[in-house]
Amino acid sequence: VDLWMKQAILSGERVPVILAPRGFHFNIVDETNGTAMMAELGDSAMIPETTDENADQLTYAARWLHEKNKDEKYNAICWEPRSDFTPDQPQDGHPGSQVGWHPGFRQHQFQGRKVALVLLKGLKDALQLWEKAISEDGFPLAEKYWHVGETYETIREAFRTHIKSDIANGKDV
């Protein structure tokens, strides 16, 4: 994964924003002298464990994130019983692939919400910057506020410099 991320930084037209799970051992931030756009998604450690007693006190999105109980982990069925229709094929009680090692849909939903918040925060900051720039520099918005090519080249050059350094080449300096 580390090699793939490094290749993504060096190739293509755009440098990616890298959102990685907590615990991965990436050195990309160090290898780009702090210029890479990278963040850890973190985990659900800040969310309290759900019990039957406190479930109603937690928001729906925060309930049952740590649970091993398959019923709460997946919260899925294949067919909602209906009185007005009988399917020709027998319906399974739940979708397949609900195995014990899989984190379940709640973890995926939690990760998706975190990514959405990062995108919304970035969009808000960009719009505020652009609004301020237009009020100070006039309309249309100057290219320096929306062209990011220089930022990409700064990240790539910092990474290339690190790769060519004596430390990266295994030499003792």
Distance CA 45, CA 49 (A): 9
Which of the residue ranges 50-64, 88-102, 103-117, 128-142 would you say has the lowest mean pLDDT? Answer: 88-102
Domain ranges of the chain: 1-40+147-172
Q: What is the mean pLDDT of residues 137-155?
A: 90
Q: What is the mean pLDDT of residues 134-159?
A: 91
Predicted local distance difference test score (pLDDT) of residue 127: 96
Could you count the other beta carbons within 10 Å of the beta carbon of residue 112?
10
Q: Is the peptide bond before 95 cis (omega within 30 degrees of 0)?
A: no
Q: Is 10 left (phi over 0), alpha (psi -120 to 50) or beta?
A: alpha
Q: Are 158 and 32 in contact (CB under 8 A)?
A: yes
Distance CA 76, CA 152 (A): 43
Predicted local distance difference test score (pLDDT) of residue 101: 73
Q: What is the mean pLDDT of residues 136-150?
A: 89
The alpha-carbon radius of gyration of the chain (Å, integer) is 24
Q: Which residue has the higher pLDDT, 44 or 16?
A: 16
When pLDDT is cut at 50, 70 and 90, the band that residue 170 belongs to is low
Q: Are 75 and 106 in contact (CB under 8 A)?
A: yes
What's the pTM value of the predicted model, to 2 decimals?
0.68
Question: Residue 35's Cα: distance from chain center in Å?
Answer: 18
Predicted local distance difference test score (pLDDT) of residue 120: 96
When pLDDT is cut at 50, 70 and 90, the band that residue 173 belongs to is very low
Q: Are 67 and 103 in contact (CB under 8 A)?
A: no
Q: What is the mean pLDDT of residues 137-162?
A: 90
Distance CA 135, CA 86 (A): 63
Q: Which residue has the higher pLDDT, 157 or 94?
A: 157
User: For residue 50, which of 30, 80, 32, 71 has the smallest C-alpha distance?
Assistant: 71
